[in-house]
Amino acid sequence: MALSSMTGFARSHGTSGPYAFEWELKSVNAKGFDLRMRLPPGWDEIEQIARKRAVGVLSRGTVYANLNVKRAGALSTVRVNEDVLASIVKIAGVLAGRIDAVAPSIDGLLAIKGVIEVVEPESDEAEDKAAKSAVTAAFDQALTALVAMRKREGVTLGQILLQRMDEIESLAKKAEAAPGRKPEAVRARLTEQIAALLESSDRFDSDRLNQEALMMAAKADIREELDRIASHAAQVREMIGEGGAVGRRLDFLAQEFNREVNTCCSKSNDLELTNTGLAMKNVVEQFREQVQNLE
């Protein structure tokens, strides 16, 4: 199963009877899955079907689905509500005998709410049913195209993530081979630090000295961190090979990478090792940013 990105775009359109319609789907990153639909009045029943089909193929990302529908040859007509107009004229006549006012004009009467009515054309039940079926099929087409685009993007992201793993593993090998990690270099630093301890203390305490030496040696050793970095890298490669919705698990490993690299930097007493750790930290951050795009 291939990796899938959470970002994508797709469009589909069609006609059915007097109706012409178009779907536009756009997906962006999100922690979970959310489908936000915008449908024209009278087409709400499509939402439940579309939502069920989207949930079946997508597990993460916010998807915006917009449907535009036009009905060809269906012109609205305008008519005067004679009953409302007659009532208004009658009231105007009564008021004219009580107050000194200008007689109402035609445009003034027509501007009164309820006098003019816009009548929508009558719909055909069979045509509407067929149109909604066609619109649902068009949603499936757009959804399929969206999934395909997200998978193409996922393939590219997978390649980028593997490149980041190559860089992390290369830097980890460089850290392992750093001159500051060689036994003679560690021994020299310990000798200097022990000498400093002896100079700062008036009384020689062999037990305290042994404890300090062990602590210094442990702090200088990043073997465990390098082993865990190698283990995390192997897991990343395995997950990318398996594919599917692995974004959350890879995000967790990105946090673990960052933790190990930070420990390596804090333990370092060597400039080259510190610079290597900082470079690795930068690559880990790039890895984490790309993982945020994966489903």
Reduced 3-state DSSP string for 224-236:
HHHHHHHHHHHHH
What are 275-285's pLDDT values in tens digits? 999 999 999 99
Q: Which amino acid is at 246?
A: V
Q: Which amino acid is at 221?
A: D
Assess whether pLDDT exceeds 70 at residue 139. Answer: yes
pTM for the model stands at 0.72
Architecture of domain 153-291: Up-down Bundle (1.20)
Tell me the C-alpha distance between 65 and 35, whole Å: 7
8-73+126-151: CATH, from 3.30.360.10, 3.30.230.10, 3.40.50.300, 3.40.30.10: 3.30.230.10
Q: Domain map of the chain by residue range?
A: 8-73+126-151, 77-119, 153-291
* Of 237, 222, 211, residue with least CA distance to 270: 222
- Supply the pLDDT for residue 220: 61
> Which stretches of the chain are assigned E, i.e. beta strand?
8-16, 19-28, 33-38, 61-71, 77-80, 116-119
Q: What percent of the chain has pLDDT over 70?
A: 79
What are 224-245's pLDDT values in tens digits? 899 999 999 999 999 999 999 9
